Amino acid sequence: MNHFETLLLIARRKAVIDADSKWSEGAGTYLGEMNNEIAEVCAELSTGRQCYLEDELGDVLWDYLNALAALEKSHGISVENVLQRACRKYEERISGIENGELWKDIKDRQKLALEKEQKDISVAKKRGVN
């Protein structure tokens, strides 16, 4: 198991705790905290304190993983699907740029594909197909 998977498992354990917590508002809690942590990362950039910068970057990752864990429960997203989509998306973009394509053209093509995927999902739901 790699460090990412370990941290994700810890975040999923935290999601169980959050379910009984009065302070947590699910993913929104962690998405809001990400803004605070990103500000702390930005503040550390000019200090030269590498260990603090790494720690703050870890906090951003922690809040992101907690948001994913909360969205798994509240919206049925799949972390594996998120990772697969990100890999596919950015591999296509970087490979495209390496082969002379424009970032904007690649993004436009991906946007159209995503719109088609959503349309197909909506049609399938109307037909009662999951």
Instruction: Determine the residue type at 34.
Output: M
81-127 pLDDT, tens per residue? Answer: 999 999 999 999 999 999 999 999 999 999 999 999 999 999 998 98
CA–CA separation, 40 and 87 (whole Å): 27
Give residue 128's pLDDT band: very low, low, confident or very high (50, 70, 90).
confident
> Considering the entire predicted model, what is its pTM?
0.84
Alpha helices in the chain (DSSP H): 3-19, 27-45, 50-75, 79-98, 103-126
Give residue 25's pLDDT band: very low, low, confident or very high (50, 70, 90).
confident
What tokens does 12 get? 């999923």
Is the pLDDT reported for residue 1 higher than 70? Answer: no
CA–CA separation, 58 and 37 (whole Å): 9
For 123, half-sphere exposure in the C-beta direction (CA atoms, 13 angstrom radius) is 6
Q: Are residues 73 and 20 in contact, defined by beta-carbon separation less than 8 angstroms? A: no
The predicted structure's pLDDT at residue 23 = 78
8 contacts: CB under 8 Å, gap ≥ 6: 65, 68, 69, 79
108 contacts: CB under 8 Å, gap ≥ 6: none
